[in-house]
Amino acid sequence: MDHFELHHGVLHAEHVPLTVIADAVGTPVYVYSRATLTRHARVFRDALAILPQVRIAYAIKANPNLAVLKVLAAEGYGADVVSGGEMERALAAGMDPDSVVFSGVGKTAAEMRRAIEAGIGQFNIESEEEGVELAAVAAAMGQTATAVLRVNPDVDAGTHGKISTGKAENKFGVPFDRAADIYMRLAATPGIAMRGLALHIGSQLASLAPLEAAFTKIGGLMRAIRGAGHTVTHMDLGGGIGVPYKAGDEYPSPADYAAMVARVTAGWDAVLMFEPGRVIAGNTGVLLTRVIRVKQGAANPFVVVDAAMNDLARPALYDAWHDFVAVSPSGERMLGNIVGPICESSDTFAMGREIDRVVAGDLAVFRTAGAYGATMASTYNSRALVPEVMVDGARWAVVADRIEPATILAAERVPEWLD
């Protein structure tokens, strides 16, 4: 459920007509609904309340906008960060450093130092090499870093190959059959305090079955490590729950997910940690765009919109579907190819799709664009970096400026030997 609905024939974000935002800010622009974000955060948190000890670290990569993080911090969310930049955002949003988890295969020593200084609660380490380096960095600072070991359970998440992370051939985590040995060696290393295990098998999962298989496997590993006399107090089960992108698609609900977790983890006696991203942010945003022109095509007309793959990369990268709906639909429909202005054929949002009839100048939105939307934007083709707006009831604000090409140009230098 979200708060993007038609009122008097015009698509609104909560109480604000999207026409108002387009007129004031221009297009393309991402528009987020605070009420939807809060609702998703609460539904997920409340669903997990059936579990004994829970910590939720929102995966900032899904939507790192500061205003978004503020809303989630107020709902008691911590953060899963994967770079120094994301860590600074979590701290800037006022999140408790202890509630921040630092993931990622390539943390640098400088990032480790900064995270230790800031009091980040947990490192999710992805290799023995990383664990050894983290221990050395912490020891040199006279500190002990708290960590869990990310395990690669070799489970097929059944999602798009580019967003699968839990197969043996993926770069993430340590191989399942070596994990216990690595854990025990690191547990004996000064400078690092091992407290548990982590996994994350992929994103946009349509089924709970692969998650259940992975959790069952890692539960067995937890018992083996405990059996060898080591402590395991924290189990980080990652993110990955998919959301419907196409009207009518069915996806597991947070309640289904929580019930499965409760069943699989019964008797674990550990703090369970979660790293949801898309399920929190996905439906909280749309990408608002204007039709530049409708161009005759060989089969169907090309609807050329002013948003492009640099603003919303998911269709080009993962063949992803985003519903496209007119802001003021006439009720008529058409078959069209939706494309952006960028000069390559991957700048295509949809081919031969039945959509609301639109003409040049009309406004439309790509739905479910709140996760992995603005954050993946670039300035390719020297386009502006797309702005972001948050709506709250009848009020709204720009929460990220449009960065104009002139600003980017001003940061470039011509060396004097080229003059």
Contact positions vs ligand LLP (CB under 6 A): 59, 61-62, 80, 103, 163, 200, 203-204, 238-241, 275-279, 314, 318, 372
Min CB(205)–ligand LLP separation in Å: 7
Query: Does the annotation mark 343 as catalytic?
Result: yes
Pairing type for strands 122-125 and 145-152 reads: parallel
Chain centroid offset of residue 181 CA: 32
**3-state SS assignment for residue 83:** coil
CA separation for the pair 88, 65 (Å, rounded): 12
Task: Compute the Cα dihedral for 386, 392, 393, 396 and give only its sign.
Answer: negative
Q: Among residues 1, 49, 343, 418, which one is catalytic? A: 343
Beta bridge partners of 235: 197, 272
CA separation for the pair 76, 71 (Å, rounded): 9
Min CB(388)–ligand LLP separation in Å: 16
Measured from the CB atom, is 61 or 290 closer to ligand LLP?
A: 61
CA separation for the pair 316, 352 (Å, rounded): 16
Measured from the CB atom, is 315 or 329 closer to ligand LLP?
A: 315
Pairing type for strands 302-305 and 333-339 reads: parallel
Measured from the CB atom, is 80 or 347 closer to ligand LLP?
A: 80
Min CB(25)–ligand LLP separation in Å: 24
Min CB(20)–ligand LLP separation in Å: 29
Phi, psi of 246, deg, nearest 5: -110, 130
Measured from the CB atom, is 196 or 239 closer to ligand LLP?
A: 239
CA separation for the pair 317, 178 (Å, rounded): 33
Min CB(165)–ligand LLP separation in Å: 6
**3-state SS assignment for residue 120:** coil
Measured from the CB atom, is 318 or 380 closer to ligand LLP?
A: 318
Q: Which residues are catalytic?
A: 343
